[in-house]
Structure 1
Amino acid sequence: MLKAYKFRLYPNIEQKIYLAKTFGCTRFVYNRMLTERIKSYEENKDLDIKAMKYPSPAQYKTEFEWLKEVDSLALANAQMNLGKAYKNFYRDKSIGFPRFKKKTNTNSYTTNNQNGTVYIENKHIKVPKLKSMIKIKQHREFNGLIKS
């Protein structure tokens, strides 16, 4: 059985900067991929949608060096979110076409736990690519394996 837990974070200045970079990079990758999908659809309307190949976040890292500073799985999840948005749109048109992501006060991103890169220890959480641990308000004991 899968469970979701939310914990309040208390990041320091360095951690806030890293989280802001990650939020911005995931939003940038999502919006860039959406722009390229729209452009390729306009140019190739006669082709099958499933036959078209789109760039991955790893291909953007050569053009935009600053994408290397954040977690690659967060960028990959942005790509998966866009794919899911397109699938939902083609499944049911009433959902609407995928929209561009905006800067908001409630930012979030998803990363995956690979070989213990995400763990909770002593009311602190470790996230990938960040050297220090972020303080959290741990209001309940966590038992089990962290998936994302």
Structure 2
Amino acid sequence: MFDIILKRKEETNVLKGIKLRLYPNRTQQNQLEQMFGNDRFVWNQMLAMMNERYQNNKDLPFLGKFKLNYLLKPLKKEYPFLKNSDSSSLQVVNEFLTQSWKNFFQDKTGQIGKPRFHSRKYLKKSYTGKSIIKTAGKRYLKIPKLGYIKTSKIGVLQDVKIKRYTVVLEPTGKYYLSLQVEISEPEKYSLTGKQVGIDVGVADLAILSNGLKYPSFDSSYFEKKAKVWQRKCARRRHLAKLLVLQDRNKKVLCPRSLESFTNWQKAQKSIARYQAKIANQRRDYLHKLTTYLVKQYDVIAIEDLKTKNLQKNHHLAKSIANASWRMFRQM
């Protein structure tokens, strides 16, 4: 079975994703940490309330995002620190929670579970807002509750309308701003009169019907580096656990916690850094390849494969995941 992908030559408004690097100062970093925690707190509070409501009476009407938003006002009065967050980000939390419950109720296969509580130990932190972001100069943006924050080049934000933004703290310790923008005049490519069929593979990512082949992304170098740090991280975590248990057994007045061992945390960041390099280079490779194919051909037919079923073969699962067939199709 093949899916046909046609070029869109004329469109009115198109949604596009833009990712920028952020360079917050120490005060802004502390503010971001507070905002990440506030989103997690609201999610857990609302989820606990909805779980109790569902357990007490399953026949009660479902609470949508608008009804949950009404509960934010008394919640802010009870917990004043929630006022330090962008109000729209807390509304987005309710929107995500409502959608998670809808997915759970509408799922007939039993594969989607109930929404779960968010942990502060999760390394990747983020919050999403819908407020207005303003540009200032060449390297600064004005974000609600954060003020003017330094960023990478903002020339890509000219003649666009920002619909939604997400601030992310990666496990590597770097801050990013992901923007969902609306553009009125998307980039247009000239017609070539060519068409092609693409067969995806493991050794060769794309095998074209005209005989051309494009290899899969090679991530072996950084994977070896990541494995070395994974072993170091496992050893350091094991030693840290032994020292924590030793403090508990000796009943030390101020026992150490697992998070207080910096060597283990450094190893975690090193693993995340190499994994991020692999992901970024793979995404860059796929962007360049797909852009080239779209410019060269007007009609593209791509093989339709059930990747999830193929990954059950443990001999090919890693190679299939590294090839990123799904990302290739989406691009």
The one-letter code matched in structure 2 to 1:58 is K
Shift of 1:89: 1.0
- Structure 2 CA distance, aligned partners of 1:145 and 1:88? 30
- Structure 2 CA distance, aligned partners of 1:81 and 1:47? 20
Q: Are residues 1:15 and 2:31 paired? A: no
Aligned pair count reads: 143
- Structure 2 CA distance, aligned partners of 1:31 and 1:83? 13
Q: Is contact 1:23–1:107 with CA below 8 Å preserved after alignment? A: yes
Q: Is contact 1:77–1:111 with CA below 8 Å preserved after alignment? A: yes
SS of the residue aligned with 1:96?
coil
Q: Are residues 1:128 and 2:144 paired? A: yes
- Structure 2 CA distance, aligned partners of 1:50 and 1:68? 23
Shift of 1:63: 0.7
Q: Is contact 1:57–1:79 with CA below 8 Å preserved after alignment? A: no
- Structure 2 CA distance, aligned partners of 1:128 and 1:49? 32
Corresponding residue of 1:26: 39
Corresponding residue of 1:80: 95
Q: Is contact 1:56–1:79 with CA below 8 Å preserved after alignment? A: no
Counterpart selection for 2:117 from 100, 103, 112: 100
Shift of 1:139: 7.2
Greater than 4 Å deviation, 4+ residue runs? none
- Structure 1 CA distance, aligned partners of 2:34 and 2:17? 25
Aligned-pair identity in percent equals 36
Change (3 A) 1:129 1:139: closer
The answer to which structure, 1 or 2, has the higher relative contact order (CA under 8 A, 6+ apart) is 1
- In the superposition, the TM-score normalised over structure 2's length comes to 0.41
Corresponding residue of 2:268: none
Shift of 1:140: 5.7
- Structure 2 CA distance, aligned partners of 1:47 and 1:78? 22
Q: Are residues 1:110 and 2:132 paired? A: no
- Superposed, which structure 2 residues align to 1:29-68 within 5 Å? 29-49=42-62, 54=68, 56-68=71-83
5+ residue gaps, structure 1: none
Q: Is contact 2:139–2:154 with CA below 8 Å preserved after alignment? A: no
Cα deviation code 1:65-124 (max 9, x no counterpart): 1111211111111111100111111111422111111222221111113xxx31233211
Change (3 A) 1:50 1:35: closer
The one-letter code matched in structure 2 to 1:127 is I
- Structure 2 CA distance, aligned partners of 1:126 and 1:30? 26
- In the superposition, the TM-score normalised over structure 1's length comes to 0.86
